[in-house]
Amino acid sequence: MKRKSCTFILTIAMIFTAVQALAADQAPSFNWKTGKIEIGDNIASMNLPGNFRYLDPKQSKTVIEDLWDNPKGSADGVLGMIFPSTMDPVSDESWGIVITYEDSGFVKDDDADNIDYEELLATMQKDIKESNPEREKAGYPSLELVGWATQPHYDKASHKLFWAKELKFGNNSENTLNYNFRILGRKGVLVLNAVSGMKQLKDIESKSAPLLASVNFSDGNRYAEYVPGKDKIAEFGIAALIAGGAAAAAKTGLLKSLWIGILAAKKFIIVGLIAAAGFVKRFFFGKK
> Per residue in 146-158, pLDDT tens?
999 999 999 999 9
CATH of region 31-260, choose from 3.40.1000.10, 3.20.20.70, 3.40.50.300, 3.30.70.260: 3.40.1000.10
Residue that wins the pLDDT comparison between 191 and 282: 191
Rounded Cα gap, residues 263 and 195, in angstroms: 9
Distance in angstroms between the alpha carbons of the first and the last residue of the chain: 14
Residue 258 has pLDDT above 50, yes or no: no
Between 101-110, 168-177, 214-223, 266-275, the lowest mean confidence (pLDDT) is in 266-275
Is 189 within 8 Å of 89 (Cβ atoms)?
no
| Nearest-10 Cα torsion for 213, 219, 224, 227 | -150
The arithmetic mean of pLDDT across residues 131-145, rounded, is 86
- pLDDT band with cut points at 50, 70 and 90 for residue 4: low
Query: What is the pLDDT, as a whole number, of residue 48?
Result: 95
Between 56-65, 158-167, 175-184, 195-204, the lowest mean confidence (pLDDT) is in 195-204
Is 123 within 8 Å of 243 (Cβ atoms)?
yes
Is 214 within 8 Å of 47 (Cβ atoms)?
yes
Is 178 within 8 Å of 193 (Cβ atoms)?
yes
Residue that wins the pLDDT comparison between 194 and 68: 194
Query: What is the pLDDT, as a whole number, of residue 176?
Result: 87
Rounded Cα gap, residues 1 and 9, in angstroms: 12
The arithmetic mean of pLDDT across residues 222-228, rounded, is 97
DSSP 108-172: --TTGGG--HHHHHHHHHHHHHHHHHHHHHTTPPPEEEEEEEEEEEEETTTTEEEEEEEEEETT-
Residue 7 has pLDDT above 80, yes or no: no
The arithmetic mean of pLDDT across residues 48-72, rounded, is 90
Is 190 within 8 Å of 101 (Cβ atoms)?
yes
**Other beta carbons less than 10 A from residue 80's beta carbon:** 21
Rounded Cα gap, residues 97 and 83, in angstroms: 7
The model's pLDDT over 12-38, given as tens digits with 9 standing for 90+, comes to 555 445 444 544 445 568 999 999 999
Strand partners, 167: 145, 176
246-to-67, 173, 266, 275 alpha-carbon distances in Å: 25, 21, 23, 34
Residue 133 has pLDDT above 80, yes or no: yes
